[in-house]
Amino acid sequence: MKKFVFVSAALIGSLVLGGAAMAAPATYGAKPSATPSANSKKPVTTPKTNGTDANTTTGTTATESTTSKPGASGNSNAGGKTAENNNTNDTKTNGNSGKTPSSTGTKTTGTTKTNGAKPAVDTGVRSNYIVRFAEGTDVDSESTAIASLKTTVSKKFKTVIRGALVRMTEKQKENVAKRANVLSIVPDGDVSTSETQSSPSWGLDRIDQIDMPLDASFSYAETGVGVTAYVVDTGVLTTHSEFTGRTAAGFSAISDGNGTIDCNGHGTHVASTIGGTIYGVAKGVTIAPVRVLGCDGSGTISGVIAGLDWIAANHDSSKAAVVNMSLGGGANSTLDAAVNNLIDRGITVVVAAGNNTADACTASPARVPRAITVAASSATDAFASYSNFGSCVDIIAPGSSITGAWFTSTSATATISGTSMATPHVAGIVARMQTLGAQLPAKISESLAAVSVADTISAVPTGTANAFIYGNPSGVSIPAAAKPLAAISVSATAGSRSATATWVLADNTAGPLTSQTVKLWAGNQLVRTFTVSATETSLQVTKLRTNTSYSFSVVANNAGGFAESARSNAVRPSR
Residues serving a catalytic function are 233, 266, 420
- Contact (Cβ atoms closer than 8 angstroms) between residue 513 and residue 558: yes
User: Taking the CA of residue 557 as centre, how many other CA atoms within 13 Å lie in the half-sphere pointing to its CB?
Assistant: 23
Residue 559 CB partners (closer than 8 Å, separation 6+): 440, 442, 443, 446, 481, 511, 514
Listed residue (281, 286, 267) closest to 416, CA to CA = 267
Amino acid (one-letter) located at 200 = P
Question: In 23-157, where do the E strands start and end?
Answer: 89-91, 102-104, 127-133, 152-157
**Cα→Cα distances 491→59, 129, 487, 569, Å:** 15, 40, 11, 6
CA–CA distances in Å: residue 490 to residues 92, 213, 483, 516, 566: 52, 58, 19, 13, 7
Cα–Cα distance, 26 to 418 (Å, whole number): 12
Q: What gap in Å lies between CA 242 and CA 283, rounded to an integer?
A: 9
What are the distances in angstroms from CA 56 to CA 179, 330, 386, 498?
Answer: 15, 32, 46, 9
Q: Cα 115 vs. chain centroid, distance in angstroms?
A: 33
Q: How far apart are alpha carbons 237 and 103 in whole angstroms?
A: 26
Q: How does strand 321-325 pair with strand 348-352?
A: parallel
Query: Which residues share a beta bridge with 82?
Result: 76
- Phi and psi of 76, rounded to 5°? -115, 110
**CA–CA distances in Å: residue 239 to residues 248, 361, 412, 507, 521:** 12, 37, 11, 49, 37
Region of 359 (left: φ > 0; alpha: ψ -120 to 50; beta: rest) is: beta
Q: Please provide residue 144's backbone torsions phi and psi, each rounded to the nearest 5 degrees.
A: -65, -40
